[in-house]
Structure 1
């Protein structure tokens, strides 16, 4: 009887000594407010208000963009604040420092907080859509395409959407390229409106494709519908091609991407063809290796680069068939260099391609100087020294560009900061938090082990006494 009583008392004492799970789930750090304000296209400011039983000593903002990346890419910033049990702080992401994210991009962020007694908290991720949402955007949707516009009637938008859907169907039939996920297309009322939405775009930019984010932006006035349909097909091809060839091991050549895009839109216009023919006659065409890097910002050279790229792709398709061009795309996705991929599929490298192509179009033989490889510059954005505490979240991928339409009507716009009403990913109105590992968790196994040891000693002692 005495033994049973001892065991019961011991078990009860051990139970009360072990922290209850409900107590462990409660965090000593609470989030009173967690939101972001934007001034498109300039900046995003992340704001947080915190309370804790112990002074807060460290706050780290983690942030990034939803896109295809090579591994996990997380930006980190250290906002300034005074250690206290009640803290308000903020940190601003300056787009001029890092280069613009595309309109429609999904930005995410979360906070990591540490207190003086070692407690930690990692908040849930929150997101916002980076967009000039002071415009009256409207949306029409089709199969794997959402088209957003703010100028022109619904018939205008529907024609552009139908052009996008037709382009996707044609590309699937001729090249095998297909969309991965839903493509978001943003139609600006002019090329000037578009350039106002992003930093560091060349003056001739009429559209951009961001394949990693599945986003296309184009400036299409309602009176340039024909050009707009061609441009949508062009930029959609870039998105489909970019996602199909995405690799962390190598880059695809620009001539292949732009050539397929020109092929997808139906080829260059008559004036561009005349300029290309003149360049062939005067031996002014660019080498294939020169077309592997970024195109010139000079509009005349850029125009020739696009037309040449189309001619190269058309040569490959007409001479060797559509199956091989898709095989080339798939080979590049595996991280193969363009020379190795060409050699594997066609039996020649970039120089061999240029030799065969020049013969086909009646151009003069390739110059030996074209053996020099072009330098693939990673971005059009100039390098700036980041502001204190900033770690750039990702290398800005080079977006593909479209020339402006022949005539556009430029409009100027003004912007004011917009407060984003942000819902947590769970859909609840109250920000939720997630407690990180508590320092109390490590004591539980120790207490249980000691208890079992003591209980064993007691039982052995009592047993021996009875035997004696």
Structure 2
């Protein structure tokens, strides 16, 4: 049976106004201007609370993973000509609009809209806002109060462990499993925050399925079978499949720590123009895993010996599609971050993160943060490795290079820093706000994965090579809190 979900009391800050005081001010001014311009066109608007509209039912039913049903039952003061449902995940950039079937011209309306999750996928563990807009025969527009519900996979009896801004959702393993996940998450947040002076200011939801099979059954249709978990920085969300038992601590120490850092980097560097480079994001995530990937060291050493390192600027946007080069890209990213911390300290990384949070373009962020170009960092890092240079005939054409997207991001960042264009920017924002309200998001099912989501592959690494049959006890992570940064927990 579908589960009826009531409005949630949890509050979150919209994605557009997270951490930039200047941007918040500009957003507020532009919003005020937009509202002022829009008021004459909507002067006849009224809400359901004005007494003109009797709201008998406004509810939501979740039937995961099939659909969400939005229900509406009203008595209107005059015939209704149009109904529109608008819904939006709290951190999404745009609202979606749907028009359900109903008896046009009637005053008593009872209808519903079934959102097909097979074509409009929503990940479990997010808050969703929704409201109804009713257009009467006279042209008057009425709106119901905006409601919020928590969207979760209702096939399971979820437990929740909440500590400050972190919420862990799980249904297997009992309270000990939830406590372990919370300990690993908080430890990662504290270490990363202490090293780089980063504080989380947005709620983080972590949804842990009791097995990889259960998790994969919650993914969009046609998702690759190798996915074992993902982080969605845009939603401050991690969803994964981790089975309780003696291997749970190992998997959390490897995967959960990695994905938590992705969310922390996203929050620390958020700006409306670009995001942290891939080599920095992945390098930090790997370095802050409590269970490290020993295979990466072997891959890096082999690439150094054979003279085929990928230039660092080529790892700014995306990693190569070739599996071997992709693994090498992770290995190089881990090593570059290790080098920067060892030779320049955590302050250097913190300065780069700060530069990105100010919207500095890619071409300048490292220079602003460290006083060096990315090419100079690449030269120092390869010297630190003892790299003798590329072997004759090595072709880097398979490695990605910064393309038009990065150039566009740099242009936008420079644009945003030029006060003379504030008025033009305000016009663009107004147009964007209108588009946000009216946009309809349709997911392309031909895409296997979303470019905005960090996916974790369950079979990405060969565990027999990494651990050679050793098992990490659940309390091993607790005993090794004082070990040096990056040192794996004790294997027993």
Q: Same fold (TM over 0.5)?
A: yes
Instruction: Please state whether the residue corresponding to 1:315 is helix, strand or coil.
Output: helix
Deviation at 1:179, TM superposition (A): 1.8
Is residue 74–residue 108 contact of structure 2 (8 Å, CA) maintained in 1? yes
Deviation at 1:261, TM superposition (A): 0.8
Question: Are the structure 2 counterparts of residues 88 and 147 from structure 1 closer, same or farther at C-alpha, using a change threshold of 3 Å?
Answer: same
Counterpart check, 1:203 vs 2:225: yes
Counterpart check, 1:402 vs 2:425: no
Is residue 171–residue 210 contact of structure 2 (8 Å, CA) maintained in 1? yes
Question: Are the structure 2 counterparts of residues 79 and 25 from structure 1 closer, same or farther at C-alpha, using a change threshold of 3 Å?
Answer: closer
Instruction: Please state whether the residue corresponding to 1:62 is helix, strand or coil.
Output: strand
Q: 1:39-438 counterparts in 2 under 5 A?
A: 39-67=63-91, 69=93, 73-83=94-104, 84-98=106-120, 100-199=121-220, 201-222=223-244, 223-225=246-248, 226-266=250-290, 268-296=292-320, 299-365=323-389, 372-374=401-403, 391-392=440-441, 398-404=452-458
Is residue 48–residue 88 contact of structure 1 (8 Å, CA) maintained in 2? yes
Counterpart CA distance in 2 for 1:68 and 1:245 is 18
Counterpart CA distance in 2 for 1:296 and 1:201 is 20
Question: Are the structure 2 counterparts of residues 286 and 372 from structure 1 closer, same or farther at C-alpha, using a change threshold of 3 Å?
Answer: same
Deviation at 1:341, TM superposition (A): 0.7
Deviation at 1:61, TM superposition (A): 1.2
Question: Are the structure 2 counterparts of residues 325 and 108 from structure 1 closer, same or farther at C-alpha, using a change threshold of 3 Å?
Answer: same
Is residue 103–residue 130 contact of structure 1 (8 Å, CA) maintained in 2? yes
Counterpart CA distance in 1 for 2:153 and 2:82 is 33
Deviation at 1:404, TM superposition (A): 1.5
Deviation at 1:103, TM superposition (A): 1.5
Deviation at 1:260, TM superposition (A): 0.9
Which range moves more in the overlay, 193-202 or 166-175?
Answer: 193-202
Deviation at 1:171, TM superposition (A): 0.9
> CA RMSD, aligned part only?
3.1
Is residue 317–residue 402 contact of structure 2 (8 Å, CA) maintained in 1? no
Counterpart CA distance in 2 for 1:390 and 1:330 is 32
Which range moves more in the overlay, 40-49 or 117-126?
Answer: 40-49
Counterpart CA distance in 1 for 2:177 and 2:129 is 33
Deviation at 1:32, TM superposition (A): 2.4
Structure 2 residue ranges without an equivalent (≥5)? 1-47, 409-437, 445-449, 464-492
Question: Are the structure 2 counterparts of residues 203 and 309 from structure 1 closer, same or farther at C-alpha, using a change threshold of 3 Å?
Answer: farther
Counterpart CA distance in 2 for 1:321 and 1:66 is 37
Which range moves more in the overlay, 193-202 or 181-190?
Answer: 193-202
Is residue 95–residue 101 contact of structure 1 (8 Å, CA) maintained in 2? yes
Deviation at 1:188, TM superposition (A): 1.6
Counterpart CA distance in 1 for 2:380 and 2:454 is 27
Counterpart CA distance in 2 for 1:25 and 1:194 is 41
Is residue 172–residue 210 contact of structure 2 (8 Å, CA) maintained in 1? yes
Deviation at 1:245, TM superposition (A): 0.9
Is residue 131–residue 143 contact of structure 2 (8 Å, CA) maintained in 1? yes
Instruction: Please state whether the residue corresponding to 1:133 is helix, strand or coil.
Output: coil
Counterpart CA distance in 1 for 2:64 and 2:405 is 30
Deviation at 1:246, TM superposition (A): 1.1
Counterpart CA distance in 2 for 1:77 and 1:331 is 40
Counterpart CA distance in 2 for 1:62 and 1:103 is 19
Question: Are the structure 2 counterparts of residues 344 and 151 from structure 1 closer, same or farther at C-alpha, using a change threshold of 3 Å?
Answer: same
Which range moves more in the overlay, 132-141 or 298-307?
Answer: 298-307
Is residue 314–residue 400 contact of structure 2 (8 Å, CA) maintained in 1? no
Deviation at 1:280, TM superposition (A): 2.5
**When the two structures are aligned, how many residues end up with a matched partner?**
371
TM-score with structure 1 length normalisation? Answer: 0.71
Is residue 189–residue 260 contact of structure 2 (8 Å, CA) maintained in 1? yes
Question: Are the structure 2 counterparts of residues 106 and 220 from structure 1 closer, same or farther at C-alpha, using a change threshold of 3 Å?
Answer: same
* Rg larger for: 1
TM-score with structure 2 length normalisation? Answer: 0.68
The Cα offsets for residues 37-62 of structure 1, whole Å up to 9 and x where unpaired, read as: 22323432322122224210011111
Deviation at 1:68, TM superposition (A): 6.6
2:418 is matched with which residue? Answer: none
Counterpart CA distance in 1 for 2:146 and 2:451 is 24
